[in-house]
């Protein structure tokens, strides 16, 4: 009887080792990136950046026609907020931030606006950037009040 239990124990042990592979599993290779950063207001400007839309675009033309690829709402209070856009495919992007202060769904005087680059109005100068799989890219933006 002892031999039977010993044989059964040995079989269970062998099955356990074989099914586990005896090796550590490798981490999956990342396929997407993250874009994150801080939003701030231009010196001397007051406002609340919480819930500011931060969006990425694949081209300048996409930005012109508001063809947003991905977006998120920034969180914070007052003149500072943070954001994170996850699951971004590797590639080249443009980024803007817009707070629709009067909730009109169009750009108006008093709205807060900024781009990754130089926020000049009415011709912002974007700095395009690239992200690679597994990378976290930091894009900080200073917003202005639209005249």
Read off the tokens for 21.
Answer: 């592979």
For 6-61, write each residue's pLDDT tens digit: 444 444 444 444 445 556 778 889 999 999 999 999 999 999 999 999 999 999 99
What does CATH list as the number for 33-145?
A: 2.60.40.10
Q: What is the pTM of this model?
A: 0.81
Return the closest-CA partner of residue 128 out of 118, 113, 142, 136.
Answer: 118
10 φ, ψ to 5°? -65, -40
Q: Which residue did the predictor score with more confidence, 59 or 3?
A: 59
* Residue 146 scores a pLDDT above 70: yes
Domain ranges of the chain: 33-145
């Amino acid at each position: 009887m002892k031999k039977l239990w010993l044989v059964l124990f040995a079989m269970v042990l062998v099955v356990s080792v074989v099914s586990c592979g005896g090796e550590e599993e490798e981490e999956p290779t990342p396929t997407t990136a993250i874009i994150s950063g801080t939003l701030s207001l231009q010196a001397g400007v007051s406002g609340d950046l919480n819930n500011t839309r931060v969006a990425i675009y694949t081209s300048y033309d996409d930005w012109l026609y508001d063809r947003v690829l991905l977006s998120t709402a920034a969180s914070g209070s007052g003149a500072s907020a943070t954001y994170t856009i996850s699951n971004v495919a590797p590639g080249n992007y443009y980024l803007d931030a817009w707070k629709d202060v009067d909730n009109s769904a169009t750009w108006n005087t008093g709205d807060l606006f900024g781009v990754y680059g130089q926020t000049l109005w009415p011709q912002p100068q974007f700095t395009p950037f690239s992200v690679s799989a597994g990378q976290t890219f930091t894009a900080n933006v200073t917003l202005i009040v639209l005249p």
